[in-house]
Amino acid sequence: MKNIKLKMARVEKDLSQEELAKLVGVARQTIGLIELGKYNPSLNLCLAICKALSKTLDEIFWEE
C-alpha cells in the first residue's frame, strides 16, 4: 500500500526524495520504494525517516 503520508511529510519540508535519502543515509530508490509501498523499512529506518521529517511514527507509518 502506498505511503501517502510519507510523501506529504516530505513535500511539507520541501525535500526531494534524494534530499531526504541523503539526510537519512539511504539510497534515493529506497525512499521511492517506501513511498510506493513496495518496500517495508525496518523500525530503525522508520525512526530515522521520522527524525529527518520531524514527525512521529504514527504520523507517517500508522495505517488507517
Partner 1 sequence: MKIRDERIENIRNKIGLEAYLITLAIALLSLVGKFYLYGHSIGGVALELLIVLGTGAYSGIRLLLLGVYSDEVELHDRTNALSMSKKNLFIGLGSGGLLALYFGINSALRFATTAQERVSYFFVVFFASLMIYMPLFIAVVLLLNLVGRNDGKE
Q: Which residues bind partner 1 (CB under 8 A)?
A: 24-27, 29-30, 33, 39, 41-42, 44-45, 48
Shortest Å, Cβ 20 to partner 1 = 12
Q: Which three cell numbers mark 59?
A: 504520523
Shortest Å, Cβ 17 to partner 1 = 14
Residue among 52, 54, 60 nearest 24 (CA): 52
Return the half-sphere exposure (C-beta side, CA atoms, 13 A cut-off) of residue 8.
Answer: 8
Q: Report the residue number, 2 or 51, with the smaller CB distance to partner 1.
A: 51
- Locus of grid cell 521520522: 50
Q: Report the residue number, 37 or 64, with the smaller CB distance to partner 1.
A: 37
